[in-house]
């Protein structure tokens, strides 16, 4: 595994980490009390969050399997990958495409450390510690150049990540990545949305306070739809609440309430 080394002082356990909060909601053990406290506080205003996170992860697995098995894509860049968990992108993709290459991107140093430990023996994967908005750095990185051939289709994953950045920055990020990808590439985009103004305001304010400002905004469906303006949406299923995107079965955890939801789909670069 290539990349930057992790030093103990790089990990701030006094401020909740988005990656560690996800880990807690997914039943992982790589989190601290401050992360668990933040999650429990969030559940008070958004009680469906645990099921939402689980279904977002299941969507990621389904969409990667579909892209690898049905569309023949064997190159993936996972923006905001988070901590490794069961059935990571490379594991799903490599079942269909044994030589599939995956580059994971995250700015949390603990993700880099865990990723290196997990992926060190897999020559077709890499973890890069970077801001997901730094497209030039990511696409020009030595590990990306080693694993990704940009003359061929690539799947760029933005699963439950764009709500971390501001409106103009999110739109610019999607444009910048689209411009660099070959025809036939796919962008997987979904983010937290709500049709309730009080939820958009309260959850956004809570996450900004809790994570030291590392949060953009809970948006509305039409705003996420705008990210696909230069892409051809795969329809069916179109842009939907992600638990309904090509579901395997009815066994996934159900959200009992929809104060917010994960919403999006897959767009093809033409």
The domains found in the chain, sorted by start residue, are 11-268 (3.40.50.150)
φ, ψ for residue 196 (rounded to 5)?
A: -110, 115
Residue-wise pLDDT tens for the chain (270 aa)? 333 444 444 667 888 988 899 999 999 988 999 999 999 999 998 999 999 999 999 999 999 999 999 999 999 999 999 888 778 999 999 999 999 999 999 988 888 777 777 766 789 999 999 999 999 999 999 999 999 999 999 999 999 999 999 999 999 999 999 999 999 999 999 999 999 999 999 999 998 898 877 788 999 999 999 999 999 999 999 999 999 999 998 888 889 999 999 999 999 999
Q: What's the pTM?
A: 0.92
- For the chain, the residue count is 270
Q: Which of 183, 184, 203 is nearest to 193 (CA)?
A: 203
Instruction: Please say whether the dihedral angle defined by the alpha carbons of residues 130, 136, 138 and 143, taken in this order, is positive or negative.
Output: negative
The backbone torsions φ and ψ at residue 103, rounded to the nearest 5 degrees and listed phi first, read -110, 120
Taking the CA of residue 102 as centre, how many other CA atoms within 13 Å lie in the half-sphere pointing to its CB? 26
Instruction: Tell whether the torsion through CA atoms of 247, 248, 250 and 254 is positive or negative.
Output: negative
Tokens of 154: 């690539």
Q: Count Cα neighbours of 15 within 13 Å in the Cβ-side half-sphere.
A: 13
Q: In angstroms, rounded to a whole number, what is the distance separating the alpha carbons of residues 223 and 163?
A: 11
Residue of 59, 94, 88 lying closest to 73 (CA atoms): 94
Q: Are 194 and 259 in contact (CB under 8 A)?
A: yes
Q: What are the structure tokens assigned to 227, written together?
A: 């990210």
pLDDT of residue 6: 40
Q: Characterize the bridge pairing of strands 261-268 and 101-106.
A: unpaired
Amino acid 222: pLDDT: 97
- Work out the angle between the directed axes of helices 18-25 and 109-119 (0-180°, nearest 10): 60
Report the C-alpha gap between 76 and 90 in whole angstroms. 8
């Amino acid at each position: 595994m290539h990349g930057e080394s992790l030093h103990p002082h790089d990990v701030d356990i006094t401020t909740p980490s988005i990656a560690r909060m996800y880990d807690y909601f997914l039943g992982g053990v790589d989190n601290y009390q401050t992360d668990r406290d933040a999650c429990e506080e969030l559940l008070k205003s958004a009680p469906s969050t645990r099921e939402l996170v689980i279904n977002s992860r299941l969507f990621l697995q389904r969409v990667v399997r579909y892209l690898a098995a049905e569309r023949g894509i064997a190159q993936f860049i996972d923006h905001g990958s988070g901590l490794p968990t069961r059935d990571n992108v490379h594991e799903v993709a490599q079942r269909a495409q044994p030589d599939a290459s995956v580059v994971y991107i995250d700015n949390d140093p603990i993700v880099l450390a865990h990723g290196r430990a997990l992926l060190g023996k897999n020559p077709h994967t890499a973890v890069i510690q970077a801001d997901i908005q730094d497209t030039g750095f990511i696409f020009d990185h030595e590990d990306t150049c080693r694993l990704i051939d940009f003359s061929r289709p690539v799947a760029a994953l933005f699963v439950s990540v764009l709500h971390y950045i501001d409106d103009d920055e999110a739109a610019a990020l999607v444009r910048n990545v689209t411009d660099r990808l070959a025809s036939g590439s796919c962008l997987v985009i979904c983010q937290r949305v709500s049709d309730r103004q009080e939820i958009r305001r309260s959850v956004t304010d809570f996450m900004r306070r809790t994570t030291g400002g590392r949060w953009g905004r809970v948006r509305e469906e039409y705003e996420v739809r705008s990210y696909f303006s230069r892409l051809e949406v795969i329809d069916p299923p179109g842009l939907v609440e992600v638990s309904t995107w090509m579901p395997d079965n009815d066994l996934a955890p159900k959200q009992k309430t929809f104060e917010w939801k994960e919403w999006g789909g897959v767009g093809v670069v033409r």
